Structure 1
Amino acid sequence: MKKLLLLLLCGTPLFAQETGSPIAEKKNEVRLDVLSAVAYGKANLSYERFLSDDWSVGLTGSFSFSDKFDKDFDRGYRNTLPKTEIIPYVRYRLSDSFKSYYFVEVFASLNSGDYKEMIRDSNGATAIYRINKEGYFDVAPGASIGYKVYFAEKFVLEFLAGAGFNLLDPDKSPDVVTRLGINVGYRF
């Protein structure tokens, strides 16, 4: 009985919800995705506004600056070249803590880029192959899960993984839009 009482008294602070946290008083956050910059040659910048303790909304903007993907596209190793992406999202905090917590989000990726295909033109007995290059625009609704941890009540490290599926132009745009990231940021 004494052990149970001691466990309840010592364990209560571990599960108690924080109130009046200095982190919760700050309603804005900006983040930069270091994983996308290093691995994919994309610059991802995010802004998030906290509406309440559990809900937030945000916007991520991204553009490609990688020469490797451009060269792969020009050489024919890939038929799509994503260039820009705007992602509005809504998040819900799953944990009680403000210093570190899990969250889920729903998002809509408005993405655009270039599409290339080889076309065969027949002219009687001869055929000519030509490369047709054009742009695409698509919308991909999706969902993600992530984890945030704060340091010194203002610096944030965030891990994010999710995916969405393009709906408007499946012949030209990529089927799946991934949302992967390791973000560093500042809450103010």
Structure 2
Amino acid sequence: MKKLLLLCTIVLSLTSYSQENEVSTFKKNEIKGNALFLVLGAVEVTYERILTDDSALGASVFFINENESDISFSFTPFYRAYFGKKTASGFFIEGFSMINTGINSRTYYYDNTGNLSSIDKNRFTDFALGFGLGSKWIHKKGFVFEINAGIGRNLFSDNSPEIVGRGGITLGYRF
């Protein structure tokens, strides 16, 4: 009887003390393109790494090759906190930093052949901090649709725009 009681106690204590290891089964990487900027003649590509069910880190690269834009290139790392029911989806807030370069002003003139030319003045490189809001929807096959907007402030250069914007309508894939 004592052996049976001892055996039951050992088995009961081993099963009650066991721990479960949580294994994350969700996909952690996303690659996205900003469809709105593509229509407007610019390119923005974003990579996002999902850290937990409700947070992620990422970075965006933006460039445009037109004379009408103040900012011609930007690199924007960001952190997002999600408030949706699915993993890294739904409403989110983000904090971002941005390194941006561009030309603040240009002078236009007609050259000897009658063509309109320009002289670039006040090139700048600056660093901005800002925040944004948005929402993300995930399809069960991994397709991503996102709408976001944000605003930030350049901190160092007098030649750069004081306020920078961030936003778009992005399409991508989670893998």
Question: What TM-score results when the alignment is normalised by the length of structure 1?
Answer: 0.69
Contact 1:37 1:43 in 2 (8 A): yes
1:184 equivalent in alignment to 2:174 = no
1:114-125 alignment to 2 at 5 Å? 114-116=103-105
Percent of residue pairs identical: 35
1:26 equivalent in structure 2: 27
Alpha-carbon distance in 1 for matches of 2:106, 2:146: 38
Give the counterpart letter for 1:33 in structure 2: N
Alpha-carbon distance in 2 for matches of 1:29, 1:132: 37
- Match of 2:129, SS? strand
Q: Shift of the alpha carbon at 1:25? A: 0.9
Alpha-carbon distance in 2 for matches of 1:56, 1:33: 18
- Match of 2:90, SS? strand
2:42 equivalent in structure 1: 42
Alpha-carbon distance in 1 for matches of 2:88, 2:139: 8
Give the counterpart letter for 1:152 in structure 2: K
Q: Shift of the alpha carbon at 1:55? A: 1.1
In terms of mean alpha carbon deviation, does 154-163 or 94-103 score higher? 94-103
Q: Shift of the alpha carbon at 1:175? A: 1.4
Alpha-carbon distance in 1 for matches of 2:124, 2:26: 42
1:45-64 alignment to 2 at 5 Å? 45-64=45-64
- Match of 2:52, SS? coil
The total of aligned residue pairs comes to: 142
Higher helix share: 1
Alpha-carbon distance in 2 for matches of 1:60, 1:145: 15
Could you tell me which of 138, 148, 158 is aligned with 2:126?
138
1:103 equivalent in alignment to 2:92 = yes
Alpha-carbon distance in 2 for matches of 1:64, 1:117: 16
Contact 2:129 2:154 in 1 (8 A): yes
Contact 1:99 1:149 in 2 (8 A): no
1:174 equivalent in structure 2: 161
Alpha-carbon distance in 2 for matches of 1:165, 1:99: 27
Q: Cα deviations across residues 40-62 of structure 1 (Å, max 9, x unaligned)?
A: x2200000001111111001001
Q: Cα deviations across residues 41-90 of structure 1 (Å, max 9, x unaligned)?
A: 22000000011111110010010033xxx1x4xxxxxxx72110000000
> Aligned-pair RMSD on alpha carbons?
2.2
Question: What TM-score results when the alignment is normalised by the length of structure 2?
Answer: 0.74
